Amino acid sequence: MKYRKAISNDINYIAQLVTDLLGTCNIESKKSILESNIEEIAKDINNYYICIIDNKIVAACGISDVLEHDKYNLNLKNVKEILYLVVNKEYQGRGIGTNLLNLCSDNNENDIIYEAWGDNGRYVNSKFILERCGFKMIKDLGKDYYKKNNYCYKCVNRCKDCNECIAQIWVKPKTI
């Protein structure tokens, strides 16, 4: 198991992981989900870390540059946002996601936000990893946030007949 900063040659592999596991967050794009993810990840590739096992990228996590606007109305200024955190299902439960999230969020001069979602009906899918990494849930966006904002057709579960998806904003306070 090896962790390193991502490079431009990793973009397509990261984008495929994101497409397979999450869908996409870029609902404005008219491109395919994979094309949209490639474009989004390419913009911030220098802010991603990856995990490699047997010469294969099995996980990735990215963090934005400083954002000056407050899209969630949280009265936070100059925050960073976790872009994607994905771990191939075959490798989940081994601490890989925790290590990647820590690589992206430790020693930060800014608060870090994470828009978490969950389709299990009880809590967001990343609840336990977020808690382990020092994030706190500060805003519940509700169970219909994604449906109201037309995210559903870009979701990895787009072929699934689901009625709700929990959405929450978690924050890790700056550490420096």
Decide if 171 contacts 111 (C-beta within 8 A): yes
Alpha carbons 38 and 16: distance in angstroms, whole number? 8
| Segment 112-129 mean pLDDT | 80
Alpha carbons 123 and 120: distance in angstroms, whole number? 7
pTM of the model: 0.84
Exposure string over 64-93, b if 16+ CB within 10 A, otherwise e: beeeeeeebeeebeebbbbbbbbbbeebee
- Side-chain-facing half-sphere of 45: CA atoms under 13 Å: 15
pLDDT digits (tens, 9 = 90+) for 33-48: 888 889 999 999 999 9
pLDDT of residue 168: 84
